[in-house]
Structure 1
């Protein structure tokens, strides 16, 4: 197997993914490109938090209000990040409206966090600009109280953290598609909680989930305890544009997408029988003979996810292994399942071995006819589980969010997971 290599792919608005040469059963030079932010949307918050405290001017109407209300950022504060939220502490009533305007009086769109702790603008504020915010709360008698503040945002940051989102608008994905966010450089542990608070996911129908970070902090996955339900709509906003990410860096931009989950299709590969079972919506469609990695280059055992599909490509390991050990081969119906270069693909040269013995460099070999049939059936995000090989899948070698129990997965969250959600039985 070729050693795993990772590099952040530059992301720009309205990305178009173009085919590139692949490293066969090893290497990740052309991993799929993350999607870019495609618009603005109200924030959907899995958790809340009040920004730094500060008391603002206040007023009331209709009599003496029982409400106590403070608002942040503090009045007159300068160099505020453009990711600023309008935070508030309220007692004796509840907040009913939040209004934020720029220096020209133009209203800024936004939404309350689910826990009501703050109001989040629907996109980053502009740099070096003054903003005015007014928060209105009401007590049980209907008497209102307002608090106002004004602040000025910071200039353009000198250092940025690159970000990527592996989700595209209006696409349909498999039931195991995690929300995958990438950071370059990675986010250190002490900074992850603040960043995670700005990573919003909404599902319809509702299926609460959690975030989990890789050890390096270069990726974070979001999933529910079990595979998504067919027909689920995922609405994602990674609202880190201009947000502090640690080390004097700030997120490069907001990213987001709305996508759907399709039918359930699950692939299970058993090394003992050398067969793949393909199950759609609970019904076995076909059992395919396979050849897995030979002992010197074993396939990884674990639950993986299809990350990329190419009907025709080239596997080329000569640059990495040299002309004597490397090879360059044209491949059809290649479906990537790890960053280190394991694929499910057509292998006409190993048909005689499929179902009998392992001869590949780590990939899952199937016949040309079976490869095309499978390629036409699958979606990005469909799960494939391989069992019984000599090698175990490494965490982070692909979208490995499902290669751990739910209890293990939530240990990677930088924020506390609600007890009811943590207690659920997951895959």
Structure 2
């Protein structure tokens, strides 16, 4: 028996350290917010996403399973290589368990792939591409706040009902813009409309004049803006200055965009959203609490970061571990019930299904305050708003 001891000791030392670890890797839970801090989408996510995550951690109690919760953040600069590099560093050397926000679809898709490789949970809130729950789906990936299908479905359907049945698109030239334009085009065609053309513009464009001339020359009834953030704001401002007569459809609009435009420029615009502080009393409570910390009202991205971070922490607590497979199981089993979603469900393709809202921008005369910008036109049930699971291209779905 004595001769066996060195062999037993050698085997024990060879086993991974996690075999002997407690329920939490690194004896804590570590969350990363990877977002646009300085670019075209900074007002959509940026420091507001960090504040939202901090609020969720504080409201949870600051600890999980009697261990600390740590938050780190970084600017991906809207570049997939920078986003993946930072996420890899977090996963490999800093013990980050979950990455949230991932504002920008190119970054979101790339980091979700890395998360699948590393078996780490990634939650996309600011990214919109339906590829995240389609061909690029991951067993560790969640698409939480909105996607291009739901946004296009609500807005395009509403405008088509008004007889606005010919469209021309200005599209941000990357994965998100292509997905948003593609989803909107399919909905327009399916409801009897026509797409008369599309012009692509680089991310962070400052001069939209040539694109707007092409849109005007198309004679389309609707100019659909398949872009977001500062690109959307600049396109709308320049369209107004240019005297564009066609209806402008914002296919991804945030409260911060309406604020940047002002009600004079944005009044009457209809769009689809997952959240606004004005939609119901629960959303208002969160909005005012966020405002007190940030100095501005939250976007649907900020609201999604808060809700999904809290849902993640509750799942870690319920699972008794931060093991990604165990936590994902709890996140899928447990419905989301908070100010952001009622009976929200995370499907097997990673899509969190919840109600969406069709809204209209108020006239200046209707507004009662600085952030009183929107009125609710319709609530779109989640099962209607989001692409049916039966039509998913996700390879995880059993056909």
TM bucket, shorter chain:
under 0.3
TM-score for the superposition, normalised by structure 2: 0.27
Please state which structure has a larger fraction of its residues in strand.
1
When the two structures are superposed, what TM-score results if normalisation uses the length of structure 1?
A: 0.26
Q: Which has the higher helix share?
A: 2
